[in-house]
Each structure stands twice: as structure tokens, then as C-alpha cells.
Amino acid sequence: CKRVGLTLIDPAGEGSARTYVNGSAAVDPDEPGGLPSFLTADEVRKLLKTENDLFVPSVEEFPGFLPLLSGNGSQTFVLFPIFHKEKLAGVIATGFGKGAEPAKEDRLRARQIADQVAVALANAALLEELANLNRGAMTALARAVDANSPWTAGHSERVTELSLRVGREMGLASTELDLL
């Protein structure tokens, strides 16, 4: 293929997404987290009905994100939806020259890659959930310690907030702030 893109749908947004495209022509240095894109409800419905892949003969069929991939001579596309918990989580899009279409074996490989991306997204969601559970456990423990005395009530939370403010002023990275 001439161009490959990964569009990840914001789970909280109504079709808002970020698209990551290979090739410097589509990369915006001011947008390191991908390019803003959007999928309409109709586009999402089409992708939800797709089992393996969807051949798209022109950019106009998915105007919310395919124009970002139309460089390098890409005019036709094959889309590989990515699902997480039976919801559309993203799309891998491969772009080809006019009238070109990938071989069956190439489509199968791309589908396998899309499935691996789905597994990676599921793992990332589990890690985020685990981190939230850890924060909740630490907060509960701090409140239990503070509850022993009216003199220390809220002390742990105040110290945490103050420490984080100092860390942010020092320019610490988010991983360092988590350790702090």
C-alpha cells in the first residue's frame, strides 16, 4: 500500500478521533498526538457492520478521516475496524493507487494486525483501570490513617497536593509525578 493510517476513536467523544499517518506529508509538528479527525454516525454504522475489512473506492465515503491519508497517490482504501468490548475503538486504513486492491493474503495480514491493535488497546485500558484502583486504595489508606486523630484529618491529602504542586513547578514528567 502507499499509505497507512491508524484512527483511534475517543471513547468519551461523539465520533471525535485522532489519526496517525505514516509519511511526513501528513504529520503536523504542532499535533504530536495525531491529527484531529471525526467519524459520523453513518461511518461508524458502516464500520460496525464490517466483519473483516471494507473496500472504499474513494475518500468521499469517509470524509472525516480518509482525506488525511489521501497523499502519496492513495485514492482507494481498505479499512480494518478495531473493536474493544464490542464497540468501535478505531480503524486501520490502507491506501492504494487508483483501481488497486490488495491481495487476499495481504488483507488477512492487515486484519491480524488490527486484531493485535485491539488486544493492545484492551491491555492499555486494563492498565489504566489498575492504576485508578491503586490510586483509590492509596487514598482509602491515607484517609484511614488520618481518621485516627482529629489533628491529622486530611493531612495526607494536603501533603500530596502540595507535593504535586511543587513537582509540577519543577517540571517533573507525569511518571515522576505518579511516583511522587
Does position 116 have pLDDT exceeding 90, yes or no? yes
Over residues 1-54, the pLDDT tens digits come to: 788 888 888 887 777 888 888 754 444 555 566 788 888 888 888 888 888 898
Over residues 62-105, the pLDDT tens digits come to: 888 888 887 777 778 889 999 988 888 999 988 888 777 778 88
Q: What is the pTM of this model?
A: 0.71
Mean pLDDT, range 144-149, rounded to an integer: 77
Order of all β-strands in the sheet with 35-38: 35-38, 16-21, 3-9, 87-96, 76-84, 54-56
pLDDT of residue 169: 93
The identity of residue 2, as a single letter, is K
Whose CA is closest to 64, among 90, 38, 27, 44? Answer: 38
